[in-house]
Chain A
Amino acid sequence: DAGITQSPRHKVTETGTPVTLRCHQTENHRYMYWYRQDPGHGLRLIHYSYGVKDTDKGEVSDGYSVSRSKTEDFLLTLESATSSQTSVYFCAISESDRSNYEQYFGPGTRLTVT
């Protein structure tokens, strides 16, 4: 299994509070991704990173920000959590070689916003 950890694994927070989720990898992969998973929607890309300090938006980026100051860590921040951000969040990593395109996923973080 790819060395990907996510913390926390579960979190309950109140509307309006800031929340930061962490993804940590030990594979030295260049690309890192944050997805959210909701019933009926599959996985939707929030933000991704293609290198240290290099990030870009995905299809559902509103209300989220990210940072990557080290290769191994990719942080997802909800500046002011809303109930619509209750979801399961997955981090994924990928190598930069086009012959090895697949993404490897972390175990997920279940976030509940009350």
Chain B
Amino acid sequence: AQSVTQPDIHITVSEGASLELRCNYSYGATPYLFWYVQSPGQGLQLLLKYFSGDTLVQGIKGFEAEFKRSQSSFNLRKPSVHWSDAAEYFCAVGAGDYKLSFGAGTTVTVRA
């Protein structure tokens, strides 16, 4: 079965600084990979996804992620964070059976 690890429980970043969130997955074949964001008290919103092809994918809100098969990673990045990026971020992996496995999440705090 597939699994996802997000090594960082909490990250604090200054507004305007760059952000990188780590995600490692375990799956034998090429997975479907996703990043979701959850603002306080809200549901989850899809930021971006990777199915195949170009390993650098662009998403909404200025986020991008890079799939690295050799490292089993799918890290999320943003060059310059805004205060509104403070949220919880979830990485998820799908194995082609229409089910997703989620990581435990990384909470991002943005300081002025």
A43 close to chain B: CB less than 8 A? yes
Instruction: Enumerate chain B residues within 8 angstroms of A99, measured Cβ to Cβ.
Output: 51
Interface set, chain B 69-110, CB cutoff 8 A to A: 90, 94, 96, 98-105
Do A101 and B90 have beta carbons less than 8 Å apart? no
What does DSSP make chain B's interface, helix, strand, loop or mixed?
strand
Given known contacts A58-B99, A90-B43, A101 and B94 CB-to-CB distance under 8 angstroms: yes
- Whether A16 is near chain B, meaning CB under 8 Å from some CB there, is no
| Contact between chains at A94 and B98 (CB < 8 Å) | yes
Contact size range, B: 20 to 34
A45 lies within 8 A of B99 (CB): yes
For A44, the chain B residues whose CB sits under 8 A away are: 102
Q: How far is the CB of A43 from chain B (nearest CB, A)?
A: 4
With a cutoff of 8 Å between Cβ atoms, the chain A residues found around residue B94 in the complex are: 101
Residues of chain A within 8 A of B44, CB atoms compared = 43, 90, 92, 105
Please list the residues of chain A having a beta carbon within 8 angstroms of any beta carbon in chain B.
Answer: 31, 33, 35, 40-45, 48, 50, 58, 90, 92, 94, 96, 98-99, 101-108
